[in-house]
């Protein structure tokens, strides 16, 4: 296990180096000029050139990458072009909003998604199953944008139960997390249902029932535990996605998170901020994948890494 | 208790929350050209001059100003104004602020102030600015430049974490991407201002969300309302919609080095084939004004030259004369930048197809579109020009001089260049006359299509009093009260 972890950590470092190089090069190859985006339209070319020099963008790309790598190792991700502040600080200011939203949305996804899925599988062919299917189809097909606006209009404007937008406390989390959780909840519900149904047909379940285990013990103790393996993979990927920031949901709810930040940074060619966010998201992805792989062994002792 | 008593005595109470479309990126007044930042920072810092909604320059920290000659401006400063940390505002502040913006080339506004030669104080309350060449638009530019205390120079990064100005509100906090909080400056030099204890500015880029927050009563004013949202807002109890002709002309510029549109007959034909009334009435629901000059009314030099005619018959004739029977134009748009732009471009494409011109709409992400423009890969480029500052010199200087337009439209006309230089003097009569002449030449040559002047639409809570719908898109709240 230990040598496996060490090997995985080594691979993770390589992956991150690859991501950083890719992001760095792509940003500089796509059309668009950072200084031009910062200066007003119609600023003279001499001002554009001078600003690009100040931003260090006149150096050859490999020189820029060398400087970048050396600073990143020291924990310095460069200065944001737009904010004129350290990129890491700019990103760190947005991280709490994204993390809270992602965690609450994930909690909703797991609780609601797994419950619906289990109910649908156990009561297969009943009204519960059909209702679950309808909910799952809606959750996966309603665009976030539309769902968010509808929730705002209903609960914010008409009923006035919840704030429409912004981030000032727990009540502000409700609408965005529901919006954000809709798609993954539906995904998890469907996956739970199909995975559980498959397992409920297995012989060891019949054995369990035959030896007189109660239905809850069969479902929660045996069936669901085995159904968790594919679920865990999907949930892990979803956490990674959510922590990277949810662009559309953040835009609709004026949520000060990383998703909106990185999209604006891409539009305005704020290279240091894009690089920082992407490297952090990649790190999160890599770490979560590693954790999930370790969790497999906990759920299913037959899985071993050597 | 005593404090509330004092505040009541001055009639100052309540909090106003504004929802702005554009996120603010900096607290440094010299480091942006953002309308949103200009609005927010005007509450914290005072500039030397203010500009009214009818485009008059009025005193702020400068009590008066006058040109001593074509390259020298003299400003007499207000006595008794002080920064939020208690230090007095004096000529040192002006000298520091102007030299800083000129000398620190990292600042976004630096290039504008390169013409400043020297800034000299004359006692504590007068400043003389000498310039390398005539700089008639300097007072207009100064309306956008908040004055900093000279102590800011000691550590700028720390200063802009918690800045002080002389403005009507003190800076309290800024949560990036979310909100700025400001508190009334009880010692503001202007009596009776501000009228509320607290102002919060929230940044809500999505219009539907901005409108929902206003309708839910969470905020009191929103900017940048689109025409098709007006009916919904008007129908909401407690919400008022205000609109005013903006200081913004839509202007679609031609790439004048391209063989196709180099010929003025082709440009005229394109202009004649566009039915501007349809765009204004049907697509913008009347929230736009017909154009009568490249420069919108209110700015110095505006001259009414009459509306451009719609005459597809004549357009066809001109195209035939120019030998362009099979013309295709690349029309480049910066994605999602202007209200209804794609619909408008599509309407224009169909109008032009009536006269036999094929339009190839290329709706590109902003940075890419601007890169394509630099490379000259377009025939017509969809753009607008909000006049910031309130002076046409910048628009003329950037778009109609050889140096300015080199990487943009490739416009070059020695006559216009000469007039722009002559129009830089401080004397408003000279400027008026030169600019009128430039406008006539442009109106005739049509290096750009001017389809309409924009209208600025705001929606506010009816609890607000004295809110002014600004033509420059600023949202200014220091003289606004709340019930």
In a domain, A82, yes or no: no
Length of chain A: 306
In a domain, A88, yes or no: no
Cross-chain Cβ contact B176/A51 below 8 Å: no
Write down the mean pLDDT value for chain A: 89
Cross-chain Cβ contact B404/A54 below 8 Å: no
Q: B453-461 and B288-289: which strand pairing?
A: antiparallel
What is the radius of gyration, based on Cα positions, of chain B?
A: 24
Q: Are residues A185 and A273 in the same domain?
A: yes
In B28-53, which positions are buried (b, 16+ CB within 10 angstroms) versus exposed (e)? bbbbbbbbbbbbbbbbbbbbbbbbee
Determine the residue of chain B that is closest to A39 in CA distance: B108
Q: Are residues A140 and A46 in the same domain?
A: no
The answer to whether B37 touches B201, Cβ cutoff 8 Å, is: no
Question: Which residue did the predictor score with more confidence, B23 or A240?
Answer: B23
Residue range(s) defining the domain that contains residue A230 = 97-299
Q: Are residues A147 and A40 in the same domain?
A: no
Q: Are residues A59 and A174 in the same domain?
A: no
Task: Give residues 251 to 270 of A whose Cβ lies within 8 Å of B.
Answer: 251-254, 256-257, 260-261, 264, 267-269
Cross-chain Cβ contact A165/B204 below 8 Å: yes
Task: Give residues 13 to 52 of A whose Cβ lies within 8 Å of B.
Answer: 30-33, 36-47, 50-51
Number of domains in chain A: 2
Residues of chain B positioned with their CB less than 8 A from the CB of A30: 368
The CA distance from A245 to the nearest CA of chain B, in Å, is 14
Q: Are residues A178 and A289 in the same domain?
A: yes
Confidence of residue A245 (pLDDT cuts 50, 70, 90): low
Predicted local distance difference test score (pLDDT) of residue B176: 87
Q: Are residues A161 and A57 in the same domain?
A: no
In a domain, A306, yes or no: no
pLDDT, tens only, B305-344? 999 999 999 999 999 999 998 899 999 999 989 989 999 9
Predicted local distance difference test score (pLDDT) of residue B1: 37
In a domain, A166, yes or no: yes
Give the end of a domain, one of A74, A89, A119.
A74
- Residue A203: CATH number of its domain: 1.10.3720.10
In a domain, A91, yes or no: no
Asked if A94 reaches chain B (Cβ–Cβ under 8 Å), the answer is yes
Asked if A161 reaches chain B (Cβ–Cβ under 8 Å), the answer is no
Question: Which of A110, A99, A250 lies closest to A184 in space, CA to CA?
Answer: A110
In a domain, A144, yes or no: yes
Residue A202 has pLDDT above 90, yes or no: no
Which of B28, B178, B365 lies nearest to residue A256, judging by beta carbons?
Answer: B178
Residues of chain A positioned with their CB less than 8 A from the CB of B218: 156, 163-166
Q: Are residues A185 and A67 in the same domain?
A: no
Confidence of residue A296 (pLDDT cuts 50, 70, 90): confident
The CA distance from B239 to the nearest CA of chain A, in Å, is 13
In a domain, A85, yes or no: no
Predicted local distance difference test score (pLDDT) of residue B329: 96
Cross-chain Cβ contact B366/A252 below 8 Å: no
Which of A32, A38, A156 lies nearest to residue B212, judging by beta carbons?
Answer: A156
Determine the residue of chain B that is closest to A257 in CA distance: B177
Percentage of residues of chain A with pLDDT beyond 70: 99
Predicted local distance difference test score (pLDDT) of residue B9: 45
pLDDT, tens only, A257-280? 988 899 889 999 999 999 999 988
Q: Are residues A56 and A173 in the same domain?
A: no
Predicted local distance difference test score (pLDDT) of residue B3: 46
Phi, psi of A273 (to 5 degrees): -70, -45
Q: Are residues A119 and A32 in the same domain?
A: no
Predicted local distance difference test score (pLDDT) of residue B10: 61
CA angle B32, B90, B98 (to 5 degrees): 35
Predicted local distance difference test score (pLDDT) of residue B385: 94
Three-state secondary structure of chain B: CHHHHHHHHCCCCCEEEEEECCCCCCCCCCCCCCHHHHHHHHHHCCCCEEECCCCCEEECCEEEEEEEECCEEEEEECCCCECCCCCECCHHHHHHHHHHHHHCCCCCCHHHHHHEEEEEECCCCEEEEEECCCCCCHHHHHCCCCCCCHHHHHCHHHHCCCCCCCCCEEEEEEECCCEEEEEECCCCCCCCCCCCCEEEEEECCCHHHHHHHHHCCCCCEECCCCHHHHHHHHCCCCEEEEEEEEEEEEEEEECCCCHHHHCHHHHHHHHHHCCHHHHHHHHCCCCEECCCCCCCCCCCCCCCCCCCCCCHHHHHHHHHHCCCCCCEEEEEEECCCCCCHHHHHHHHHHHHHHCCCEEEEEEECHHHHHHHHHHCCCCEEEEEEECCCCCCHHHHHHHCCHHHHCCCCCCCCHHHHHHHHHCCCCCHHHHHHHHHHHHHHHHHHCCEECCCEEEEEEEEECCEECCCCCCCCCCCCCCCEEC
Q: Which residues of chain B have pLDDT under 70?
A: 1-10
In a domain, A291, yes or no: yes
- 3-class secondary structure, A268: coil
Determine the residue of chain B that is closest to A52 in CA distance: B106
The answer to whether B96 touches B110, Cβ cutoff 8 Å, is: no
Residues of chain B positioned with their CB less than 8 A from the CB of A267: 365-367
Percentage of residues of chain A with pLDDT beyond 90: 42
Phi, psi of B451 (to 5 degrees): -80, -40
Q: Are residues A283 and A189 in the same domain?
A: yes
Predicted local distance difference test score (pLDDT) of residue B274: 97
Q: Are residues A251 and A192 in the same domain?
A: yes
Residues of chain A positioned with their CB less than 8 A from the CB of B229: none
Confidence of residue A4 (pLDDT cuts 50, 70, 90): confident
The CA distance from B27 to the nearest CA of chain A, in Å, is 9
ipTM: 0.87
Residues of chain B positioned with their CB less than 8 A from the CB of A93: 175-177
| B228 CA to centre of own chain | 23
Q: Are residues A40 and A171 in the same domain?
A: no
Residues of chain B positioned with their CB less than 8 A from the CB of A47: 110-111
């Amino acid at each position: 296990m230990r040598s496996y972890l060490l090997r995985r950590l080594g691979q993770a470092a390589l992956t991150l180096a690859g991501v950083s190089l890719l992001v760095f090069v792509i940003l500089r190859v796509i059309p668009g000029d950072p200084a031009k985006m910062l200066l007003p339209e119609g600023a003279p070319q001499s001002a554009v050139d001078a600003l690009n020099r100040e931003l260090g963008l006149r150096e050859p790309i490999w020189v820029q990458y060398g400087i970048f790598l050396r600073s990143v190792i020291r924990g310095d991700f460069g200065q944001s072009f737009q904010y004129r502040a350290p990129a890491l600080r700019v990103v760190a200011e947005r991280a709490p909003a994204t993390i809270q939203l992602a965690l609450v949305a994930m909690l909703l996804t797991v609780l609601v998604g797994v419950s619906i899925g289990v109910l649908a599988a156990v009561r297969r062919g009943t009204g519960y199953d059909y209702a679950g299917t309808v909910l799952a189809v809606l959750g996966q097909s309603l665009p976030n944008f539309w769902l968010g606006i509808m929730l705002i209009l209903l609960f914010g404007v008409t009923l006035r139960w919840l704030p429409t937008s912004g981030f000032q406390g727990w009540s502000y989390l409700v609408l965005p997390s529901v919006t954000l959780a809709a798609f993954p909840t539906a995904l998890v519900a469907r996956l739970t249902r199909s995975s559980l149904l498959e397992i409920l047909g297995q012989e060891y379940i019949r054995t369990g029932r035959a030896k007189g285990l109660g239905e809850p013990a069969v479902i929660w103790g045996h069936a669901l535990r085995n159904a968790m393996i594919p679920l865990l993979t999907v949930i892990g990927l979803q956490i990674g996605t959510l922590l990277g920031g949810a662009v559309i949901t953040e835009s609709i709810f004026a949520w000060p998170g990383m998703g909106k930040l990185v999209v604006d940074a891409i539009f305005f060619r704020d290279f240091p901020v894009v690089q920082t966010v992407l490297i952090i998201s990649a790190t999160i992805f890599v770490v979560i994948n590693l954790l999930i792989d370790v969790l497999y062994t906990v759920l299913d002792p037959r899985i071993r890494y050597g | 208790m005593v404090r509330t008593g004092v505040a009541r005595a001055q009639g100052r109470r309540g909090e106003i929350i504004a929802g702005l479309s554009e996120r603010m990126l900096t607290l440094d007044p010299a480091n942006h050209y953002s309308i949103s930042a200009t609005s927010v920072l005007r509450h914290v810092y005072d500039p030397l001059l203010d500009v009214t909604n009818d485009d008059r320059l009025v005193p702020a920290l400068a009590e008066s100003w006058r040109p001593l000659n074509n390259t020298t401006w003299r400003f007499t400063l207000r006595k008794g104004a002080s920064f939020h940390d208690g230090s007095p505002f004096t000529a040192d502040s002006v000298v520091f602020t102007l030299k800083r913006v000129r000398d620190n080339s990292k600042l976004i506004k630096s290039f504008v102030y390169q013409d400043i030669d020297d800034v000299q104080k004359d006692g504590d309350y007068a400043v003389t600015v000498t310039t390398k060449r005539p700089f008639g638009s300097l007072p207009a530019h100064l309306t956008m430049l908040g004055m900093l205390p000279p102590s800011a120079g000691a550590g700028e990064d720390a200063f802009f974490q918690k800045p002080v100005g002389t403005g009507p509100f003190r800076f309290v906090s800024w949560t990036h991407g979310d909100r700025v909080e400001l508190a009334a400056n009880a010692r503001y030099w202007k009596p009776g201002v501000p009228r509320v204890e607290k102002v919060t500015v929230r940044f809500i880029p999505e219009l539907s969300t901005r409108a929902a927050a206003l309708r839910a009563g969470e905020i009191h004013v929103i900017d940048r309302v689109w025409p098709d949202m007006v009916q919904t807002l008007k129908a909401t109890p407690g919400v008022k919609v205000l609109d005013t002709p903006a200081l913004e002309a839509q202007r679609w510029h031609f790439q004048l080095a391209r063989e196709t549109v180099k010929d003025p007959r082709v440009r005229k034909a394109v202009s004649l084939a566009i039915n501007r009334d349809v765009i204004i009435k049907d697509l913008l629901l009347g929230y736009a004004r017909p154009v009568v000059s490249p420069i919108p009314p209110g700015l110095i030099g505006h001259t009414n030259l009459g509306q451009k005619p719609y005459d597809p018959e004549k357009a066809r004739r001109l195209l035939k004369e120019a030998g362009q029977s099979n013309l295709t134009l690349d029309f480049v748009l910066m994605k999602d930048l202007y209200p209804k732009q794609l619909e408008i471009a599509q309407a224009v494409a169909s109008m032009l197809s009536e006269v036999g011109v094929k339009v190839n709409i290329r709706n590109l992400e902003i940075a890419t579109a601007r890169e394509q423009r630099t490379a000259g890969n377009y025939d017509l480029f969809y753009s607008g020009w909000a006049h910031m500052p309130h002076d046409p010199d910048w628009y003329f200087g950037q778009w109609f001089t050889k140096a300015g337009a080199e990487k943009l439209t490739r416009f070059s006309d020695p006559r216009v260049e000469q007039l722009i230089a002559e129009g830089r003097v401080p004397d408003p009569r000279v400027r008026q006359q030169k600019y009128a002449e430039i406008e006539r030449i442009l109106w005739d040559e049509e290096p750009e299509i001017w389809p309409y002047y924009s209208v600025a639409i705001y929606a506010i809570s009816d609890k607000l009093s004295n809110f002014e719908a600004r033509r420059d898109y600023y949202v200014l709240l220091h003289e606004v009260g709340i019930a």
